[in-house]
Amino acid sequence: QQQVKQSPQSLIVQKGGISIINCAYENTAFDYFPWYQQFPGKGPALLIAIRPDVSEKKEGRFTISFNKSAKQFSLHIMDSQPGDSATYFCAPGAGNNRKLIWGLGTSLAVNP
């Protein structure tokens, strides 16, 4: 049973364009909704995260949009740059145990 479904699996965007990655979840107990970024040969690193009491959070060119009723959240990368080329994971979590449930990842390539 896959609790978290991430889409698309891969994405190609032109420099300056908007990248959008989506994450659908089933567990309504999730109360933490992060996106992680992973470059080749490196471990994942937190990019941006949101709590369910807000519908949107923006940090620079990166925005999380959260739709509680649809059980979905998305990552928007504005003015995408070649340096944004990486794999992105959604990994919602719940409860005091601090476990994260990982999506399968989206490979983003930004063409110069």
Give residue 39's Cα distance to chain centre: 14
Q: Which residues contact 41 (CB under 8 A, 6 or more apart)?
A: none
Indicate whether 105 belongs to the interface with other proteins (CB under 8 A): yes
Minimum CB separation of residue 51 from other proteins in Å reads: 8
Window 48-87: residues binding other proteins (CB under 8 A): 49, 51
Where does this chain touch other proteins (CB under 8 A) — which range of 11-19, 42-50, 64-72, 76-84? Answer: 42-50
Provide φ and ψ at 101, rounded to 5°.
-105, 115
Q: Which amino acid is at 24?
A: A
Minimum CB separation of residue 14 from other proteins in Å reads: 26
SS3 20: strand
Give residues in contact with other proteins (CB under 8 A). Answer: 32, 34, 41-46, 49, 51, 89, 91, 93, 96-100, 102-105
